[in-house]
Amino acid sequence: MARKRHRLIRYNRPLRWSIVLLFVIALIVFRFVDQIGPERSVGDRFVVVKVLDGDTVELLGGDRLRLLTIDTPEKGERLYKEATAYLTDLTLNKRVRVEFAHKRRDKYGRLLGYLYVDDTLFVNLTMIRRGLASVYLFKDTDLDRKETINMIAGQREAIEDRVGLWSVDPVAEDYYVAVKGSFRFH
């Protein structure tokens, strides 16, 4: 009897693991399908439910969206709180539209896009014009795209108007450090 029971347990083990695996897959699929659902109209799919910092939001369904072509101060840096609060005022609990570039996700799994509220307010550009963000380019950034052109022009305006990040005179450094091909220096 004990031998027969041992054989049943051994043969049922793969079945149990298969059931557990199917259950986990079903949870993941239903989580995304249930909360996001089909897109019925422009912007209907995306609702900002949380602002993580000045350039990252969380959308209904759990996806995180990193705003393309901008960089805002990190926690502990000057204007971090202001950038995060301003992005919160612009987007929290609002339906938004996302324009994607050729690459939809980054290496962290976040969506990458240009964010619009009410199809008219270009959030990425608004953050730059307020001096709460700077243009952040990568080697694969499409420099001929209208959003990129507008953000570079917006940053020039913010620098000329000396707002936000651009309101303080830069401190001269003895040297700058750059990684070859990174488009950035520190």
Residues noted as catalytic: 66, 74, 110
Give every CB contact of residue 178 below 8 A, 6+ residues apart in sequence. Answer: 184, 185, 186
Residue with tokens 């992005």: 87
* CA–CA gap between residue 80 and residue 101 (Å, rounded): 26
Q: Are 96 and 46 in contact (CB under 8 A)?
A: yes
Q: Considering just the CA atoms, what is the radius of gyration of the chain in Å?
A: 23
DSSP class of 74: P
How many CA atoms lie less than 13 Å away from 39 in the CB half-sphere? Answer: 10
Distance, in Å, from the CA atom of 173 to the CA atom of 186, rounded to the nearest integer, reads 10
Full DSSP string of 106-143 = -TTS-EEEEEEETTTEEHHHHHHHTTS-EE---TT--T
